[in-house]
Chains A and B, each alone.
Chain A
Amino acid sequence: MTKKFVVLLLLAGLSSMFVGLLLGYSPDTALNHTARYYADNTVADTGAANIVTAIIVTYRGLDTLGEVTVLFLTATIVALILSQARQPGGVGSRKAVAAGELLQTGSRLLVPLILLFGAYVFVNGHLTPGGGFQGGAIVASATLLMLLTDPFRRFSHRLISVLESISGVLFVVIGVLGLVLAGGFLDNRILPLGAFGSLFSAGAIPVIYTLIGLKVGAEFSSMMASLSEAED
Chain B
Amino acid sequence: MKILVPVKRVVDYNVKVRIKPDGSGVDIANVKMSMNPFDEIAVEEAIRLREKGIATEVVAVSCGIAACQETLRNALALGADRAILVETDAELQPLAVAKLLKALVDKEAPRLVILGKQAIDDDANQTGQMLAGLLGWAQATSASKVEIAAADAAEMTVKREIDGGLETMQVKLPAIITTDLRLNEPRYATLPNIMKAKKKPLDTVKPDALGVDVTPRLATLKVAEPAKRRGGGKVADVQELVAKLRNEAKVI
A and B form one complex: no
